[in-house]
């Protein structure tokens, strides 16, 4: 009877890659354990052995089956030591369905310029789920996708082409250059000479208050090239990939970083560029229409803020549900793809989740409920779009601070220490929003100093307390 024999693979410490001294142009990982490569094949150590290290021009290409935003996708570090890593994930499908996924990674800049017939598309890393285009295959054209997308209507400053920029929170742009029978109608929607400012610490940054950023979102990330507009549109058509440029290998970054990699001037800070033949315009909305919409929404938002301050989460929740219903009614099927809707919805869910806790008589329990709701909503005061969502979270944080101040006086032992540590953290966060020498800045600094004097060993509690203390 033959004994089974297990053969080592090329990554074993005592086998080939561990001893190899050669440098390869390409290393392909196409081994599977079920639908995925063995996890050890895509660890940091394995990637270094394959050639992902300083001074190497090796290109690593890996393939597996999975969902683009699922847990199977490996996280390739942006830096390995002092070495900048260039990586991009591609998918063969149109959405989040299971599909072939392809990882390309190298320590040398590698862009994809003018691809012809490539059936895999780049998967953006920080495009919110509510803003992702709907995409399906085009029969007989594997390199194309039938897409429905919502974004900012802009003119490219590079050549004046009409484009749609998708809202996202990473470097570069997700940009669609428009052509086709519907372009003339779209061109008429955009005011002449509109600047299309950005907010990414780049030269085209500007005031976005006259745009629809507070409706659609995006930007606020270093080297973000989302171009904001006073007009958002939803369109449908056939798209093809035109270029993929790594943000660190784009024309807008210094040559000592990007090297000699071919690039595309239409993506000066990287990202993905598509050619989109538009045949249907599904939705249009401009700043004037949004201003009118806000006259309906502002009183409702004010009622919700007041109710939060009174610890009446039932009333606050009802007001926010009414707010969302108006957006659905007036903006139709695309309402839920707007950042303003998505962010307010997140706040509403957290307020509903904590509504029972704020009925307690304990200031500490109420403070923790407000704190948890505001924290879990995931509203960033700098990058989130909706001013109303920010106002709701600000009210929740105010509720938490008041409750923790009272709890410091009424609680003892662990309760008092927890209230103090969390209040201390919230006050430190508040300092990020004010000028140090302003009236508010001096007031917050004085409260922080008083806490440090009374509790010298205090350390900020960075997360809301989860335990339930008190009634």
- Check whether residue 96 and residue 130 sit in a common domain: no
- Check whether residue 183 and residue 238 sit in a common domain: yes
Give the integer Cα–Cα distance in Å for 251 and 111. Answer: 11
Q: Which structure tokens are listed for 466?
A: 């989860």
For 356-382, what is the mean pLDDT? 92
List all residues 6 or more positions away from 130 whose beta carbon is below 8 Å from its beta carbon: 336, 337, 338, 339, 341, 342
Give the integer Cα–Cα distance in Å for 56 and 274. Answer: 31
pLDDT, tens digit (0-9, with 9 covering 90-100), for 24-40: 888 888 877 666 667 77
- Check whether residue 135 and residue 269 sit in a common domain: yes
Predicted pLDDT of residue 20: 62
pLDDT, tens digit (0-9, with 9 covering 90-100), for 386-444: 999 999 999 999 999 999 999 999 988 899 999 999 999 999 999 988 887 899 999 99
Predicted pLDDT of residue 75: 67
Per the model's pLDDT, the better-predicted residue between 459 and 360 turns out to be: 459
Q: With cut-offs at 50, 70 and 90, classify the pLDDT of residue 3.
A: low
Does residue 119 form part of some domain?
Answer: no
Does residue 392 form part of some domain?
Answer: yes
Q: At what angle do helices 439-454 and 414-430 cross, to 10 degrees?
A: 150
Q: With cut-offs at 50, 70 and 90, classify the pLDDT of residue 381.
A: confident
Most confident residue range from 8-17, 108-117, 334-343 = 334-343
- Check whether residue 158 and residue 70 sit in a common domain: no
Give the integer Cα–Cα distance in Å for 173 and 3. Answer: 57
Q: Which structure tokens are listed for 398?
A: 């105010």
Q: With cut-offs at 50, 70 and 90, classify the pLDDT of residue 104.
A: confident
Q: With cut-offs at 50, 70 and 90, classify the pLDDT of residue 198.
A: very high
Threshold 0.85, pTM exceeds: yes
Predicted pLDDT of residue 10: 60
Q: With cut-offs at 50, 70 and 90, classify the pLDDT of residue 471.
A: very low
Average of per-residue pLDDT values in the chain: 88
Does residue 294 form part of some domain?
Answer: no
- Check whether residue 422 and residue 349 sit in a common domain: yes
List all residues 6 or more positions away from 79 whose beta carbon is below 8 Å from its beta carbon: 85
Does residue 163 form part of some domain?
Answer: yes
Q: Which structure tokens are listed for 104?
A: 């390309």
Does residue 297 form part of some domain?
Answer: no
The radius of gyration of the chain from alpha carbons, rounded to an integer in Å, stands at 26
pLDDT, tens digit (0-9, with 9 covering 90-100), for 317-343: 999 999 999 999 999 999 999 999 999
For 159-173, what is the mean pLDDT? 94
Q: Is the pLDDT of residue 262 over 90?
A: no
- Check whether residue 242 and residue 159 sit in a common domain: yes
Question: Lowest mean pLDDT: which of 116-120, 351-355, 383-387, 401-405?
Answer: 116-120
- Check whether residue 130 and residue 247 sit in a common domain: yes
Predicted pLDDT of residue 143: 87
Q: Is the pLDDT of residue 5 over 70?
A: no
Does residue 193 form part of some domain?
Answer: yes
Q: Which structure tokens are listed for 257?
A: 């970083």
Does residue 183 form part of some domain?
Answer: yes
- Check whether residue 342 and residue 278 sit in a common domain: no
Tell me the percentage of the chain whose pLDDT exceeds 70. Answer: 92
Q: At what angle do helices 313-331 and 387-410 cross, to 10 degrees?
A: 170
CB 420 within 8 A of CB 455: yes
Residue 49's domain comprises 1-108
Per the model's pLDDT, the better-predicted residue between 69 and 62 turns out to be: 62
Q: Is the pLDDT of residue 16 over 80?
A: no
- Check whether residue 274 and residue 406 sit in a common domain: no
For 380-385, what is the mean pLDDT? 85
- Check whether residue 278 and residue 347 sit in a common domain: no
- Final residue before a domain boundary, out of 250, 285, 320: 285
- Check whether residue 249 and residue 104 sit in a common domain: no
- Check whether residue 130 and residue 66 sit in a common domain: no
Number of compact structural domains in the chain: 3
Q: Is the pLDDT of residue 49 over 60?
A: yes
Does residue 91 form part of some domain?
Answer: yes
Q: Is the pLDDT of residue 298 over 60?
A: yes
Q: With cut-offs at 50, 70 and 90, classify the pLDDT of residue 218.
A: very high
Q: With cut-offs at 50, 70 and 90, classify the pLDDT of residue 19.
A: low
């Amino acid at each position: 009877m033959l004994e089974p024999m297990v053969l080592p693979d090329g990554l074993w410490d005592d086998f080939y890659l561990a001893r190899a001294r050669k440098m390869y142009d390409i290393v392909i990982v196409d081994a599977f354990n079920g639908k995925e490569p063995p996890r050890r094949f895509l660890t940091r150590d394995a990637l270094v052995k394959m050639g992902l290290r300083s001074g190497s021009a090796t290109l690593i290409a890996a393939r597996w089956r999975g969902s683009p935003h699922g847990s199977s996708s490996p996280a390739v570090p942006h830096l390995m030591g002092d070495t900048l890593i260039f990586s991009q994930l591609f998918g063969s499908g149109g959405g989040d369905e299971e599909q072939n996924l392809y990882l390309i990674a190298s320590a040398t800049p590698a862009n994809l310029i003018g691809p012809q017939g490539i059936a895999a598309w780049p998967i953006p890393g920080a495009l919110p789920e509510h803003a992702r285009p709907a995409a399906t295959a085009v029969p007989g054209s594997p390199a194309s996708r039938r897409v429905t997308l919502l974004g900012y209507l802009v003119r490219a400053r590079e050549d004046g082409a009409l484009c749609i920029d998708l809202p996202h929170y990473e470097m570069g742009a997700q940009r669609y250059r428009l052509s086709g029978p519907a372009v003339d109608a779209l061109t008429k929607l955009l005011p002449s000479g509109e600047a299309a400012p950005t907010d990414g610490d780049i030269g085209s940054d500007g005031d976005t208050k006259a745009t629809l950023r507070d409706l659609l979102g995006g930007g606020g990330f270093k080297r973000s090239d989302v171009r904001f507009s006073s007009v958002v549109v939803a369109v449908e058509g056939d798209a093809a990939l035109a270029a993929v440029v790594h943000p660190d290998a784009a024309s807008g970054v210094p040559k000592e970083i990007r090297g000699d990699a071919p690039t595309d001037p239409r993506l000066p800070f990287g990202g993905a560029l598509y050619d989109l033949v538009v045949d249907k315009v599904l939705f249009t909305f401009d700043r004037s229409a949004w201003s009118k919409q806000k006259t309906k929404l502002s009183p409702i938002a004010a009622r919700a803020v007041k109710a939060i301050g009174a610890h009446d989460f039932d009333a606050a929740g009802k007001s926010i549900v009414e707010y969302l219903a108006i957006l659905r009614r007036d903006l139709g099927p695309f309402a839920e793809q707007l950042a303003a809707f998505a962010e307010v919805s997140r706040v509403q869910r957290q307020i509903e989740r904590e509504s029972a806790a704020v009925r307690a008589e304990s200031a500490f329990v109420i403070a923790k409920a407000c704190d948890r709701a505001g924290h879990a909503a995931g509203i960033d005061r700098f990058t989130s779009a909706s001013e109303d969502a920010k106002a709701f979270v600000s009210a929740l944080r105010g509720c938490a601070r008041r409750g923790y101040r009272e709890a410091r006086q009424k609680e003892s032992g662990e309760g008092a220490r927890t209230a103090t540590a969390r209040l201390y953290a919230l006050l430190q966060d508040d300092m990020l929003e004010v000028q140090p020498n302003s009236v508010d800045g001096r007031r917050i600094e004085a409260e922080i100093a008083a806490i440090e004097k009374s509790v010298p060993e205090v350390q900020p509690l960075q997360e809301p307390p989860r335990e339930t203390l008190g009634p």
